[in-house]
Amino acid sequence: MTPYEQLRIAEIGNSDGANQHDAPTREAAEEAVRTLIAWLGDNPDREGLLDTPARVVRAYEERFEGYDEDPVAHLQRTFEEVEGYQEMVLLRNIEFSSFCEHHMLPIIGVAHVAYVPNGRVVGISKLARVVESFAKRLQIQEKLTAQIANTINEVLRPKGVAVAIDAVHHCMTTRGVRKPGVSMLTKQLIGCFESDTGLRHEFLSHIAKT
C-alpha cells in the first residue's frame, strides 16, 4: 500500500472529524439535558424526570457509537480463495437507524450494498458493519450513501461499488411539512456500476424486488 493510499484510508475512517475535539464530561452532558427539560417548561427535579438526563446520555452513547468506530478496520480482513468469482456481490435490506444532523431526529431505513470483486472478497457481515459505523453518527442521507460507497471502494479496490439507501426522515414526517409515508432514495455508483448500463440495471432490479 502506497503512502497516499494509507493517507486516504485514514481520511475516510475519520471523515467526520470524529473525536478531534475535547469532549465535555458526562456530568456536563447530563446537565445539558436538564437545561433542555427546563427550557421545555418541565421540572427536571420531579420524580419522573430525575434520572432522565443519565438515561438520555446512555442512550446517546449507544445511538452514536459510530464516532468511536473505524469503518476501515471492518474491511481489513479479506479472502482471495474465491475460485475466480467475479460477479456482483449484493447485500440487501441492511436495516439501520441514524439521526439527522439538522434536527437530531431519526432517519430509519435500509441500505443495499453491492460490489464486484477484483480478486478478493470480504465477509458480508463487514459490509453491514460499515453501514452501521457511519449510520451511528449525525448524518444527512446523501453523505451517508457516499461514505459507505467510497470507503468500500478505497479499501477493497473492487471493479465497482453500488450503494442505495431508502429511508424515512422524521424531521419531515413528524414535524415541518408532516408528510408521513414519504421516503428518500439515494444511490452512489462507482466503477463498473457507473460505466456498465446492464450491471447498473441488474443492481437496481434486484433491490426493487425487496
Q: Which residue out of 31, 103, 202, 206 is catalytically annotated?
A: 103
170 catalytic residue (yes or no): no
Q: Which residue out of 30, 74, 132, 169 is catalytically annotated?
A: 169
171 catalytic residue (yes or no): yes
169 catalytic residue (yes or no): yes
| Sign (positive or negative) of CA dihedral 156, 162, 165, 166 | negative
* CA 38/CA 11 separation, integer angstroms: 40
Q: Which residue out of 30, 69, 132, 141 is catalytically annotated?
A: 141
Q: Which residue out of 171, 194, 202, 206 is catalytically annotated?
A: 171
192 catalytic residue (yes or no): no
Contact 10, 37 (CB under 8 A): no
103 catalytic residue (yes or no): yes
Q: Which residue out of 30, 69, 74, 100 is catalytically annotated?
A: 100
100 catalytic residue (yes or no): yes
* CA 188/CA 44 separation, integer angstroms: 45
* CA 44/CA 86 separation, integer angstroms: 59
CA-closest candidate to residue 185, choices 206, 209, 204: 204
Q: Which residue out of 31, 101, 194, 202 is catalytically annotated?
A: 101
* CA 131/CA 124 separation, integer angstroms: 11
Contact 147, 13 (CB under 8 A): no
Q: Which residues are catalytic?
A: 100-103, 141, 169, 171
